Amino acid sequence: MGSSISLTSSDGFQLSAYRAEPEGPARGGVVVVQEIFGVNDHIRSVADRYAAAGYLAIAPAIFDRDRPGIELGYTPEDIEVGRGIAMGSLDFDKVVADVAAAGAVAREAGKVGVVGYCFGGRITAAAAIQLPDVFDAASSYYGGGVVGLIDRTPVVPMIMHFGEQDHAIPMEDVHKVAAAWPDVTVHVYDAQHGFNCDHRASFSAVPAAIAQARTFRFFNEQLG
């Protein structure tokens, strides 16, 4: 269903992206922001899911700034590699700019939503704060470090999804986010970190389905 394309970021950097087209006329665009594992089979399947729902889906390979073509699995070793890239070599502001470049392409389909998972969940929240000229709606899943953004206010409508049993995001932080951003709907599930990813042991089918339904409904309301 999808194909590989090239994006040009605001600083001239070129990165790859996975583009998934809807079968009929697009109802809008969605940018899918990866976890710490690159644009791998799972992220491509998420983009395909949004395309199947009628959206032009773009998944930018934000790890290309470290090196092109990174696709990791979910072993402890891969987690350490991905975490080292996300928290080490990447410039967060440049990554947000890369996501904006993906949004500019998705804009050809109309209004644009952004959805991100794990590291991508934090980027999604940052996009809702910084990129109101690019995105019209945002859905952030278990974004590690989102609590560090609460001194600024999202200006794009956003919903958020967290797992109550998340080892990486304390519920105290989730409560801080909810209190700081009262206009953002925060959903908490009986689930662990990564509950949306059906390639991980922490996958939880019912919370994933509920969160997906909520995101589809939210994007339908915000994107038309």
Q: Is 183 a catalytic residue?
A: no
Q: Which of 42, 48, 118, 136 is catalytic?
A: 118
Residue type, 1: M
- Which residue is catalytic, options 98, 136, 193, 197? 193
Q: Catalytic site residue 118?
A: yes
Name the pTM for this structure. Answer: 0.97
State pLDDT tens for residues 38-59. Answer: 999 999 999 999 999 999 999 9
Is 78 among the residues known to form the active site?
Answer: no
Residue 89 has what pLDDT?
A: 79
Residue 134 pLDDT class (50, 70, 90 cuts)? very high
Contact of 36 with 86, CB cutoff 8 Å: yes
Using alpha carbons only, how large is the chain's radius of gyration in Å?
16
Q: Which residues are bridge partners to 185 per DSSP?
A: 159
Which residue is catalytic, options 98, 136, 166, 173? Answer: 166
* Cβ-contact 48, 6 below 8 angstroms: no
